[in-house]
A and B are shown apart, each in its own frame.
Chain A
Amino acid sequence: MTNQFHTTDTIVAVATASGTGAIAVIRLSGPEAISLTNNVFKGKDLAEQASHTIHFGTIRDGDKVLDEVLVSLFVAPHSYTKENVVEISCHGSDFIVQQIVQLLLKKGARLANAGEFTKRAFLNGQFDLAQAEAVADLIASDSALSHEVAMKQMRGGFSQEIKRLRAELVHFASMIELELDFGEEDVEFADRDQLRRLIGNIQQVIRELLKSFELGNVIKNGVPTVIVGKPNAGKSTLLNKLLNEEKAIVSDVPGTTRDFIEDEISIEGITFRFIDTAGLRETTDKVEKLGVERTMQKLNQSALIIYLFDITEVTAAEVQAELHKLNPDKRPLLAVANKIDQASPEKLAAFASIDGVLQISAAEGANLDALKLALVQKVNLGKLNTQNQTIVTNLRHVNSLHKTYAALDDVLHGVSSGMSGDLIAADIRRALYSLGEITGEITTEDLLDNIFTKFCIGK
């Protein structure tokens, strides 16, 4: 348990990913962040400098210069953690970075635990729980859209939406509670049709939020995409071509649900995650050995299917039958004819008549831009306006929303079948409780306050 961290110690950690970049950032937070840095910094006296200023100088261990650096100062409370924060931008060599961190540790800083900067920011009142969770998402986000969603959530958009829902539910609950506690008095009872409509509206909002999760999940985790097709259709060639053209991300992030290495490419800010590509990339022979069951499993994991075929090997009728089998209603499907460089003009013309079939040559790289555009369109994120829509990205929130929705189903059932108010109220309370798991619980006091301000009560 770390109980006195907020005022006593100063933490340090490398803020940038290890290894790759030209620049690395080392971040310190805590009361001694500035004085500690000042101790090892040669340049201006940092203690004398204003907040939000940047200073050039060197980091020295005694007489030894470790690196030339830029130091950014954020004076409490005007920082991310609301404590004194210093960011040291040094050269991105692991060796240099480690030397500087070791030096700071020697001078009295403590190595930060995972997430400790955010934890401090949270404990110091920088944001609420849902926002803190968004920070975690933000750090993990690697596409433009997921970054945007996380940013929005961090600014409190989701919390606002939930607050609005809760206010509606509290209103509903107080109408029921009014009947229960003050039924003996001269109060008007809530119109059951109106109650049903109110619950319907709330459920509608929850449905939208839940739907946004699918969208949000796509944004956050990438679109699970699978390439299917007969052996030698050119699947691995296509994948490799795409990976080479776009920024390929080889992800093996621990703690995610992915249990094997996948290939990800980012097209126009959307991440496409290719499922089970290990087999595809190694050898095409392996693909031949895939059983039907395995293929179906792959299909079920995917949100987008690329059906690839060798245009020289099949007839238009065969392709149409094949497409039908893949049931394109169920999920977005992109039919792609490969090897157009080897096909006769007649063949090309025959396939051009089939709606939505894209003609490419993976080997030649022909028409790949059209394919990419089609992929983006299939995901249909173009419609998604992340500025105006709240997107749920957190699994914990989704579970709570599901539970809320289910409890509201019970409420609706209760209202419709003429169930007594105390039983309906019990289900509403479960709904409120589940919703409260996201941002916090509602108290009985809130209900009574609502009743007293709106209704004339009392003998």
Chain B
Amino acid sequence: MFPEYDIIVVGAGHAGCEAAAAAAKMGSKVLLATMNMNTIAQMSCNPAMGGVAKGQIVREVDALGGMSGIITDKTMIQFRMLNKSKGPAMWSPRAQSDRMRFAEAWRLILEQTENIDFWQDMVTGIMVEGGKAAGIRTSLGITIPGKAVVLTNGTFLNGIIHIGEKQLGGGRAAEKAAKGITEQLVELGFEAGRMKTGTPPRVDGRSLDYSRMEEQYGDENPSKFSYTDTEPLKTQRSCYITYTNPEVHEILKTGFEKSPMFQGRIQGLGPRYCPSIEDKINRFADRDRHQIFVEPEGWSTVEVYVNGFSSSLPEDVQLKALRKIVGFEKAKMFRPGYAIEYDFFPPTQLNLTLETKLVANLYFAGQINGTTGYEEAACQGLMAGINAHNKVNDKAPFVLKRSEAYIGVLIDDLVNKGTNEPYRMFTSRAEHRILLRQDNADIRLTKLGYDLGLADESRLKAVDKKIRETAEIIAYLNNKPLEPGDINSMLEELGSAPISEKQRAGQLIKRPNIEIEHLAAAVPSIGEYLSKFQKNSVEQAGIAVKYESYIEKEHMMAGKMSELENYSIKEKIDYRNIPALSAEAKEKLLKINPETIGQASRISGVTPADISVLMVYLGK
């Protein structure tokens, strides 16, 4: 009934959609298998894309030729550039999305992408022939042949939903769990684990009193995610901020005896940085309030997402507590919050291409690898799609370095460190944060995407132009002399020391509170010169000049740290025979079998002392 596909993608969430789109665009015949075609590209948790570190990832996905950025731009209802008061490495785009339109946009794009077929069914097993993935088996008893399989099962593998003392099998509220895959993979020798995550209640926006909350507007001049010519927003919807209080906490505590978390019914590990509200008041008992973000779910729906109130307490306790929050006195609940437990496969079982070490041509992406977040899932899907395509076409693996992209940091962390809790990206995970900015993802990655056959030529031309213009502007700024008379009144106005003799424009931009825009406004010749260029080139040049010394230092550090990467571990070492290594290091090194000392140094449980032992052992 089915032809042989090049790539079969199992699951149609953020990872699956990116994987299917990337492989198809590169030329593979793709089948996207999902349990329910009505829930393609669901935002299962909050209706937002981006945020600190995550926004940078979306920009990277877009720069490589992925779709998440474009779809977010098309369906967002609010845009904010977070951390604008901090340095450019921290600027992080974040969008509130229209949940329903987001999913719809993805589905339409996938439908319009050549080479993608769909099949609605539950995949129950992988066909493996000669240690290699060869297709899938479904609940309808069908086998579908494929040269490579990408698994993106999200929270569906043996998913169990907890609300108070109730337990329901399911992958998302009101959706069935998926069975069979875990059992088969474990039989094949994979190690499986259990994770937990949670989501807050959704309420009726008409029942809230927004006048008693703090309004959070979108940016005055909203930016966007994609480097392509998508349109920025013209109108936006606001979010609102309110707080819990001791009364709320007291009510929540009455539900503790029915809490699946506290009573030990949940075995899986949850994320420390995204705790449930009961976890917060339990662990940080000294705090008498916690912040709540009230997020609209779309342009026209009345449903509202109560961010910060994730809970698996009984639904009546949730509602009672909610109603003690300022502005929520008359709240009507649409859906209770819940916790969900699901299977994942410790990602140390993967190569850096996201192909499993155990079964060739089998790729894992998204929550199945123990990550959390749409953005983290999307970028893994993209990388898995690219690598699956390259593999079946005998092309080189595509791996990004830690100093090249957050995507590189994420996959390197997963493969080498594994994770005990749902892995979310933070900027602090990146050693070279200052290089991995949202403003330069295109400069870092678009050429790579183009060479892969993923980013089209118009993207390449745009980034080439940006690079050219940026260089031109930098040279101009570093040469442009400014007289005290040109600029001192502006400097004084900004509280910056006036200059006593001629200075180059570039020098002034290095001052903490002097931006390229200030010079453009104060000195007509600069303003006129800069007006010839596109805005993002001017911004890029401003950053390059202003942070030159930091960027340089960071490049140096990146070079120094990559020295360890040059120490390759060629021969197979029996780490058990090196007594000085800790027991944990021995076990992890054996399992991961690092290719370089650098990689070894990032394996969790491998301490610096272990690395010195290895270096001495290898005679380096």
Q: Which residues of A does B touch, CB under 8 Å?
A: 1-4, 6-7, 82, 119, 122-126, 128-129, 177, 180-186, 417-423, 425-426, 429-430, 433, 436, 439-441, 443-445, 447-448, 452, 456-459
Task: Check B87–A456 contact: CB distance below 8 A.
Answer: no
A448 to B417 alpha-carbon distance, docked (Å): 14
Partner of B557, one of A2, A4, A433: A433
Task: Check A181–B428 contact: CB distance below 8 A.
Answer: yes
Question: How near does chain A come to B307, taking the closest CB pair, in angstroms?
Answer: 5
Q: A420-B85, A426-B433 are in contact. List 5 more A-B contacts (CB 8 A).
A: A6-B579, A82-B579, A443-B602, A452-B273, A458-B275
A448 and B87 contact, Cβ closer than 8 Å, known pairs A123-B617, A181-B53, A457-B273: no
Cβ of B330 within 8 Å of any chain A Cβ, yes or no, is no
Question: How near does chain A come to B199, taking the closest CB pair, in angstroms?
Answer: 11
- List of B residues within 8 angstroms of A447 by Cβ: 428
Cβ of B51 within 8 Å of any chain A Cβ, yes or no, is yes
Question: How near does chain A come to B567, taking the closest CB pair, in angstroms?
Answer: 12
Residue of B nearest to A453 (CB): B272
Question: How near does chain A come to B205, taking the closest CB pair, in angstroms?
Answer: 18
Question: How near does chain A come to B291, taking the closest CB pair, in angstroms?
Answer: 4
A425 and B433 contact, Cβ closer than 8 Å, known pairs A128-B609, A440-B612, A458-B275: yes
Instruction: Map CB proximity to A onto B586-620 as digits: 1 under 8 Å, 0 otherwise.
Output: 00000000000000011010011101110011110
- List of A residues within 8 angstroms of B611 by Cβ: 440-441
A122 and B580 contact, Cβ closer than 8 Å, known pairs A128-B612, A444-B428: yes
- List of B residues within 8 angstroms of A439 by Cβ: 608-609
Task: Check B427–A180 contact: CB distance below 8 A.
Answer: yes
Residue of B nearest to A424 (CB): B87
Question: How near does chain B come to A160, taking the closest CB pair, in angstroms?
Answer: 14
Task: Check A441–B580 contact: CB distance below 8 A.
Answer: no
Jot down 24 A-B pairs with beta carbons below 8 A, ordered by A: A1-B619, A119-B616, A122-B616, A123-B579, A123-B616, A124-B580, A181-B427, A185-B291, A417-B512, A419-B512, A420-B86, A421-B86, A421-B87, A422-B87, A423-B547, A426-B433, A426-B554, A440-B612, A443-B602, A444-B431, A456-B275, A457-B272, A458-B271, A459-B310
Chain B stretch 245-279: residues in CB contact (< 8 A) with chain A:
271-275
Chain B stretch 58-89: residues in CB contact (< 8 A) with chain A:
82-83, 85-87, 89
Cβ of B334 within 8 Å of any chain A Cβ, yes or no, is no
- List of B residues within 8 angstroms of A3 by Cβ: 571, 573, 617
Question: How near does chain A come to B585, taking the closest CB pair, in angstroms?
Answer: 11
What is the size, in residues, of chain B's interface with A at 8 Å between Cβ atoms? 63
A240 to B287 alpha-carbon distance, docked (Å): 76
- List of B residues within 8 angstroms of A184 by Cβ: 51-52, 82-83
- List of B residues within 8 angstroms of A1 by Cβ: 618-619
Question: How near does chain B come to A384, taking the closest CB pair, in angstroms?
Answer: 30
- List of A residues within 8 angstroms of B554 by Cβ: 426
Question: How near does chain B come to A416, taking the closest CB pair, in angstroms?
Answer: 11
A123 and B291 contact, Cβ closer than 8 Å, known pairs A181-B52, A426-B553, A440-B611: no
A123 to B434 alpha-carbon distance, docked (Å): 37
**Most chain B CB neighbours (cut-off 10 Å) among A125, A417, A426:** A426
Chain B stretch 426-440: residues in CB contact (< 8 A) with chain A:
426-431, 433-434
- List of B residues within 8 angstroms of A456 by Cβ: 275, 280, 283-284, 287, 290
- List of A residues within 8 angstroms of B571 by Cβ: 3
A457 to B421 alpha-carbon distance, docked (Å): 15
A443 to B603 alpha-carbon distance, docked (Å): 10
Task: Check B609–A440 contact: CB distance below 8 A.
Answer: yes
Task: Check B550–A458 contact: CB distance below 8 A.
Answer: no
- List of A residues within 8 angstroms of B434 by Cβ: 422-423, 426
- List of B residues within 8 angstroms of A419 by Cβ: 87, 512
A447 to B431 alpha-carbon distance, docked (Å): 12
- List of B residues within 8 angstroms of A452 by Cβ: 272-273
Cβ of B494 within 8 Å of any chain A Cβ, yes or no, is no
A436 to B557 alpha-carbon distance, docked (Å): 13
- List of A residues within 8 angstroms of B579 by Cβ: 6, 82, 123-125
Question: How near does chain A come to B366, taking the closest CB pair, in angstroms?
Answer: 20
A144 to B608 alpha-carbon distance, docked (Å): 32
Cβ of B308 within 8 Å of any chain A Cβ, yes or no, is yes
Residue of B nearest to A430 (CB): B557
Residue of A nearest to B602 (CB): A443
A2 to B573 alpha-carbon distance, docked (Å): 12
Task: Check B89–A422 contact: CB distance below 8 A.
Answer: yes
Number of A-B residue pairs having CB atoms within 8 Å of each other in the complex: 143
A421 to B86 alpha-carbon distance, docked (Å): 7
Partner of B601, one of A122, A185, A423, A441: A441
Cβ of B302 within 8 Å of any chain A Cβ, yes or no, is no
Partner of A459, one of B272, B293, B430: B293
Cβ of B523 within 8 Å of any chain A Cβ, yes or no, is no
A182 to B554 alpha-carbon distance, docked (Å): 23
Task: Check A436–B291 contact: CB distance below 8 A.
Answer: no
Question: How near does chain A come to B148, taking the closest CB pair, in angstroms?
Answer: 32
Task: Check A441–B608 contact: CB distance below 8 A.
Answer: yes
- List of B residues within 8 angstroms of A436 by Cβ: 608
Task: Check A422–B433 contact: CB distance below 8 A.
Answer: yes
A447 to B553 alpha-carbon distance, docked (Å): 21
Task: Check B272–A458 contact: CB distance below 8 A.
Answer: yes
Task: Check B86–A183 contact: CB distance below 8 A.
Answer: yes
A1 to B601 alpha-carbon distance, docked (Å): 21
Instruction: Map CB proximity to A onto B436-471 as digits: 1 under 8 Å, 0 otherwise.
Output: 000000000000000000000000000000000000
Cβ of B90 within 8 Å of any chain A Cβ, yes or no, is yes
- List of B residues within 8 angstroms of A418 by Cβ: 512
**Most chain B CB neighbours (cut-off 10 Å) among A123, A125, A177:** A123
Task: Check A459–B307 contact: CB distance below 8 A.
Answer: yes
A164 to B451 alpha-carbon distance, docked (Å): 48
- List of A residues within 8 angstroms of B275 by Cβ: 456-458
Residue of A nearest to B200 (CB): A459
Cβ of B475 within 8 Å of any chain A Cβ, yes or no, is no
**Most chain B CB neighbours (cut-off 10 Å) among A129, A180, A425, A439:** A180
Task: Check A459–B429 contact: CB distance below 8 A.
Answer: no
Question: How near does chain B come to A117, taking the closest CB pair, in angstroms?
Answer: 13
Chain B stretch 276-334: residues in CB contact (< 8 A) with chain A:
280, 283-284, 287, 290-291, 293, 307-308, 310
Closest 4 CB pairs of A and B: A440-B608, A420-B87, A125-B580, A186-B291
Cβ of B109 within 8 Å of any chain A Cβ, yes or no, is no
- List of A residues within 8 angstroms of B578 by Cβ: 6, 123
Question: How near does chain B come to A174, taking the closest CB pair, in angstroms?
Answer: 8
Cβ of B500 within 8 Å of any chain A Cβ, yes or no, is no
Cβ of B235 within 8 Å of any chain A Cβ, yes or no, is no
- List of B residues within 8 angstroms of A128 by Cβ: 609, 612
Residue of A nearest to B560 (CB): A433
- List of B residues within 8 angstroms of A417 by Cβ: 512
A4 to B85 alpha-carbon distance, docked (Å): 56
A448 and B512 contact, Cβ closer than 8 Å, known pairs A125-B579, A184-B51, A184-B82: no
- List of A residues within 8 angstroms of B90 by Cβ: 180, 183, 420-422
Cβ of B112 within 8 Å of any chain A Cβ, yes or no, is no
Partner of A181, one of B307, B426, B512, B553: B426
Task: Check A459–B308 contact: CB distance below 8 A.
Answer: yes
A429 and B431 contact, Cβ closer than 8 Å, known pairs A123-B616, A183-B82, A420-B87: yes
Task: Check B427–A422 contact: CB distance below 8 A.
Answer: yes
- List of A residues within 8 angstroms of B617 by Cβ: 3, 123
Residue of A nearest to B617 (CB): A123
- List of B residues within 8 angstroms of A458 by Cβ: 271-275, 280
Cβ of B211 within 8 Å of any chain A Cβ, yes or no, is no
Question: How near does chain A come to B501, taking the closest CB pair, in angstroms?
Answer: 22
**Most chain A CB neighbours (cut-off 10 Å) among B90, B428, B609:** B428
- List of A residues within 8 angstroms of B431 by Cβ: 429, 444
Task: Check A123–B580 contact: CB distance below 8 A.
Answer: yes
Question: How near does chain A come to B419, taking the closest CB pair, in angstroms?
Answer: 10
A123 and B613 contact, Cβ closer than 8 Å, known pairs A183-B82, A425-B433, A426-B550: yes
A271 to B263 alpha-carbon distance, docked (Å): 69
- List of A residues within 8 angstroms of B612 by Cβ: 128-129, 440
Residue of B nearest to A2 (CB): B619
